[in-house]
Amino acid sequence: MNTADFRSDTVTQPTADMRAAMLDAPLGDDVFADDPSVNALQDKIAAMLGFEAALFMPTGTQSNLCGILAHCQRGDEYIVGQLAHTYRWEGGGAAVLGSVQPQPLNHQPDGTLLLSDIEAAIKPDDAHFAKTKLLTLENTWGGKLLPFAYVQAATELAKARGLSRHLDGARLFNAAVAQAALKGTDPTDAAPPLVGDGPGQRSTRSGERGGDVYAQARAIASCFDSASVCFSKGLGAPIGSALCGSKDFIARAHRIRKMAGGGMRQAGMLAAAATHALDHHVLRLAEDHALAARLAQGLRGIAGLEVEAPQTNIVFVDLVGAARAQSAALQEHLKAQGVLITGLYRLRFVTHLDVDGAAVDRAVAAVRSFFAA
């Protein structure tokens, strides 16, 4: 029995076309800056997001680390969400490796940090305090699209107070697809259309609003001095992220990447996978969003489950009341049915290239059969 793996959008296998692109990639030694495939990817993603330059990174964690350290010196601090990846999920790297102090703030339910909290966290220039240098935001955050007006307001506030702005856009293209869909439809009826189940319908379908998706990605990125994007999440590449910013910023980040052990040699094979993903897997993220909506719809109405309406490709389902005691048994049941998820009391299902409508229906049926028993 093959599994329906909803644990993360990082579990995707490279497609046959992506593997072919990797094998065909012209290669050099990127530490000498002469790997043509790495250079092409860096030029492409920088231009796509409206930055001067970009740097290919093995992971999103290293990309964010190099970004924070390129913005901040020892004794500086960055303002960040309490649950943001750049604070909670990166091993404390900015503090451990850069002596940069995080200033975490609580999130609002929609993922935003209150402007008044940001304002209050910016320290005066006084020897008692770390120097507040940077605001980092994450979009999407927990699968939620930060409202664009909020992104503009928060980054304008930071700029007015002399802070740099970094975007952890691991899932920036999911945000762009969701933002384009919001713009393109009546906001009271923003649900994306359902998609078919056949493998042929899951490939590289392009949408008529494609131009708008790229425009939205650029609009979000334009609010920031730097942005990190992952190729290894919904875009389906086996590995890799890119850090984007000004030429000077990227030159500083390049030195830090080397120091962190991230100077890679014939990395063009990996960069080619990322370029293929940018060419073929951006607009199809709408299909992942539609499948997440279908999954959420299928799970509604089961006693003991509270299903959050997904905005992108992540569905959260809370176990409430008596259902909480059944958490471990539910996990076992789902695993036995070949459905893999994460979370104990707050279940997380992530849709991606390697799950289709049949996998979604199987997950729904597996949950329903557990609660029907």
Positions that interact with ligand PLP (CB under 6 A): 59-61, 64, 85, 138, 168, 170, 230, 232, 241
Closest separation in Å from C-beta 107 to ligand PLP: 13
Closest separation in Å from C-beta 158 to ligand PLP: 19
- Alpha-carbon distance 291 to 192, whole Å? 9
Closest separation in Å from C-beta 22 to ligand PLP: 18
Q: Which of residues 75 and 91 has its CB atom nearest to ligand PLP in the complex?
A: 91
Q: Which of residues 350 and 364 has its CB atom nearest to ligand PLP in the complex?
A: 350
CA 31 to chain centre: 27
Closest separation in Å from C-beta 315 to ligand PLP: 16
Q: Which of residues 61 and 155 has its CB atom nearest to ligand PLP in the complex?
A: 61
- Cβ 46 vs Cβ 53: under 8 Å: yes
Closest separation in Å from C-beta 97 to ligand PLP: 14
Q: Which of residues 59 and 152 has its CB atom nearest to ligand PLP in the complex?
A: 59
- Cβ 350 vs Cβ 338: under 8 Å: no
Q: Which residues are CB-neighbours of 155 under 8 A, at least 6 positions away?
A: 135, 137, 165, 223, 224
Q: Which of residues 143 and 207 has its CB atom nearest to ligand PLP in the complex?
A: 143
User: For the residues of 71-112, what is the DSSP string, one character each?
Assistant: H--TTEEEEEETT-HHHHSSTTHHHHHH--EEEEEPPPTTS-
- Cβ 358 vs Cβ 16: under 8 Å: no
Q: Which of residues 138 and 225 has its CB atom nearest to ligand PLP in the complex?
A: 138
- Cβ 312 vs Cβ 111: under 8 Å: no
- Cβ 63 vs Cβ 166: under 8 Å: no
Closest separation in Å from C-beta 63 to ligand PLP: 7
Beta strand segments in the chain, E = 4-5, 53-57, 76-81, 101-105, 131-138, 164-169, 226-230, 241-245, 305-307, 314-319, 339-340, 346-350
Q: Which of residues 61 and 132 has its CB atom nearest to ligand PLP in the complex?
A: 61
Q: Which of residues 76 and 138 has its CB atom nearest to ligand PLP in the complex?
A: 138
Closest separation in Å from C-beta 172 to ligand PLP: 10
- Alpha-carbon distance 57 to 31, whole Å? 12
CA distances for 282 relative to 9, 90, 144, 336, angstroms: 13, 26, 17, 33
Closest separation in Å from C-beta 321 to ligand PLP: 30
Closest separation in Å from C-beta 188 to ligand PLP: 29
- Number of DSSP helices (H) and strands (E) in the chain, helices first: 14, 12
- Alpha-carbon distance 118 to 139, whole Å? 17
Q: Which of residues 231 and 370 has its CB atom nearest to ligand PLP in the complex?
A: 231
